[in-house]
Amino acid sequence: MHVHCVCLLALALPSTASPAIGRSDTSKVFEWVELAKDKQKKGMPDSAEYYFKRAGELATILDYDKGKLSFAGNYSVFLYEQVRFDEAMEYAQQALEISQRLQNRTKMAAAYNNIALQHQARGRLKNAAHHLMKALEISSGIQNPTSQNLSDRRKYLNNLSSLFLDLHDLEKGLQYAWQSFEIAQQLRDTVSMGNSLINVMVAEAMSGKLASAIRHGKQYLAIGRAYGDLQMEIKALNNLADVYRMQKLYARALTTFQQALSITPASMPGNEVYTLSGISRVYMEMGNPRKAKEHFVRAFQLAQTELAKPQLVDMYETGADIEEALGDYRQALDLHKKHAALKDSLRDQETEKTIQELEVRYETAQHRKSIAERDLKIVEQAAELSRKDKWLVIYIFSLLILISGLVGIRLLNRQKRRVQAAELEKKLVEAQLAGEEKERARTAKELHDGVASILSAARMQIDTPLSYDNPRAAFQDVGQLLDIAVREVRNISHNLAPEMILQEGFADAIHSFCRRINKPGFQLDCYILGELPNLQQSAQLAIYRAIQECVTNMLKHADATCGIVQLACEKDRLSITVEDNGKGFDAEGIWVKGIGFANLQSRMRFLNGTLDIRSFPGRGTSVFMEIDCSVHKDRQQGIAIEQELATTSLS
């Protein structure tokens, strides 16, 4: 289980030409860099390298530092993905020199991160940690960070997690993976959440928490498929297959590895190695060393050129076990020696001590920064209080003059607010009634088209004269039709009265609803991160209806093939995300102005929540809802729990 997520950072800058350089020429540098990145993403490495080199040559001819920086940073990322680590290091160092000359701290941190990745790939973990900590120190020192700055910091934390996983420090690896995930969640970046979850999954699997690892692996797989990210899908399948192997579910493990192998292109080096070596381990544990060696030989040949040095440790160990099982003890001993030597070189005490010291220094610097910011805030507050004291007399005098006028204005505003509140309440009631009427119409249609037609068919079957030869078959047909009608009525009743389901648990109600939505051609996945709070039933029902409204509109308007419903609770904040890969719509379009949107807004007002809808034609739709749960907690249930705890402690 070593398929970590290593986050690369491309250095792209806006095109701002100096007066001595033609704007069209400098723009061409960035245009070629972006074209190269697009070719790289589409799995066309030869075309990507061609356009990268053209961009670099033009930037050199123009002696344009910003263009050189964009080329060097992005080309370094490309070379790393092509397993050309020495060349990648050369261009990453060029990017660092240029960013230092331009005093661009954001790109400086990115360059340090890229250099750290090259050191890690070569097994120089001490150097990797040194440069990665430099990237984090620079990123953390940026005042008023933008979304891009936070996204960069998330990548550095995720890479630090990967470094600790290479050292088998699972606690630190999991700690930094969750920190990375929290930033992605703050940015509402689903893909970045997935890239952080893969390291969480690896740490959990290595720690023996296999059920949790599978849950996070399936989330990662769903995100990769929803966003069409082939690299994410391959990683998810390989890691899930490896966990199935740990559970001794060998048939499922082989099937999942084969799925990964079938979609792995030659333009993504490294992925096939993991798949083949995983299949080899499965056959080895099944007691078939010959079949294991067949796949291992292919994997080992690729690993010599496509794997980073830390990932060769497990390859040597697997090969030694296979040769020993086949009776080739000389070859087994040779591989055991290589495994031990490489493992010792990566995890010697001096290296681990140095990395721990760097981590402590980083955390200490962060603590000092927090103290300094706090002291500065105290000084600023003291200065503000002193200034306020000087003007206090003037304020009091001014207030005495204005107080009579304010009283009159307040009375007028109070009357105005009453009128506005009455109008708002009227609109909310109208929206609620319209929603209920819409629900009644939908239910009536389902009863007419579904249940009524089934019962009519049953009536016709009863009215038809029975055959004397086989009357039992006719009654069985009627019974089957009645069973179908009962299931239809049950589904309709669950949609009409979800409070019946909520009695069995709010989370189960959400999962049950999403399962009922699934049908051929459409897959709706539901994920709940953390433990949902105990809410009043009215609040649970409002949240259920809000999710139901979003999914209903997804089915009616989006033409989607898959969707995600995700609930994440942190303290008293409940975040709800409903996404699809459908056709999207204009944010000023019909649905936003319709009854469905009004219903969602009214429910968010009731829940003291916020609503954010993002959609563009052809790019799917994302609905984000955030709710303050502290005002909707079920107090009676909380009191009952406290009483039960008190009784337990007394006994």
368 vs 147, higher pLDDT:
147
Beta-bridge partners for 564: 525, 579
Structure confidence by residue, pLDDT tens digits, 49-62: 999 999 999 999 98
Instruction: From 102, 101, 98, 80, select the one nearest 89 (Cα to Cα).
Output: 80
- CA dihedral (369, 374, 378, 383) positive or negative: positive
* Cβ neighbours for 383, distance < 8 A, ≥ 6 positions apart: none
Look at residue 350 and tell me whether its pLDDT is greater than 60.
Answer: no
Q: Apex CA 391: angle with CA 387 and CA 395, to 5°?
A: 140
Range of 338-342, 423-427, 439-443, 583-587 with top mean pLDDT = 583-587
Look at residue 11 and tell me whether its pLDDT is greater than 50.
Answer: no
Query: For the chain, what percent of residues have pLDDT higher than 90?
Result: 12
Q: Which helix (H) or strand (E) holds 579?
A: strand 573-580
Dist. CA 48–CA 35, nearest whole Å: 7
Q: Determine the residue type at 206.
A: M
Structure tokens at 166: 């290479």
Place 171 in a pLDDT band, splitting at 50, 70 and 90: confident
Instruction: From 314, 230, 244, select the one nearest 274 (Cα to Cα).
Output: 314
Place 436 in a pLDDT band, splitting at 50, 70 and 90: low
Instruction: From 105, 79, 104, 106, select the one nearest 91 (Cα to Cα).
Output: 79
| Tokens 């910003």 belong to residue | 66
The backbone torsions φ and ψ at residue 7, rounded to the nearest 5 degrees and listed phi first, read: -95, 120
- CA dihedral (50, 51, 52, 53) positive or negative: positive
534 vs 381, higher pLDDT:
534
Look at residue 648 and tell me whether its pLDDT is greater than 50.
Answer: no
Residue 398: its pLDDT value, please? Answer: 73
**If you ran DSSP here, which 8-state letter would residue 208 be given?**
T
Q: How many residues does the chain have?
A: 651
Instruction: Determine how β-strand 562-570 pairs with β-strand 523-529.
Output: parallel
Are 130 and 358 contacting, i.e. CB atoms less than 8 angstroms apart?
yes
Structure confidence by residue, pLDDT tens digits, 370-387: 544 454 455 456 556 666
| Tokens 């459908």 belong to residue | 582
Structure tokens at 197: 């979850």
Are 232 and 194 contacting, i.e. CB atoms less than 8 angstroms apart?
yes
Helix, strand, or coil here: 3?
Answer: coil
Q: Which helix (H) or strand (E) holds 614?
A: strand 609-615
Q: Which helix (H) or strand (E) holds 324?
A: helix 312-325
Structure confidence by residue, pLDDT tens digits, 494-504: 665 555 555 66
- Transcribe 274-303 into DSSP letters: HHHHHHHHHHHHTT-HHHHHHHHHHHHHHH
Measured between alpha carbons, how far is residue 398 from residues 61, 384, 385 in Å?
Answer: 67, 20, 19
| Tokens 């050189």 belong to residue | 68
Instruction: From 433, 444, 441, select the one nearest 599 (Cα to Cα).
Output: 433
Model's pTM, two decimal places?
0.47
Q: Which helix (H) or strand (E) holds 523?
A: strand 523-529
Min mean pLDDT across 113-117, 399-403, 520-524 is at: 399-403
**Alpha-helix runs per DSSP H in 82-145:** 85-102, 105-121, 125-140
Residue 651: its pLDDT value, please? Answer: 34
Structure tokens at 488: 């239809």
Dist. CA 45–CA 329, nearest whole Å: 42
* Cβ neighbours for 586, distance < 8 A, ≥ 6 positions apart: 615, 616, 617
Structure tokens at 413: 């505003």
- CA dihedral (194, 626, 539, 638) positive or negative: positive
Residue 447 burial (CB < 10 Å; 0-12/13-18/19+)?
Answer: middle
Residue 21: its pLDDT value, please? Answer: 44
| Tokens 């559970």 belong to residue | 247
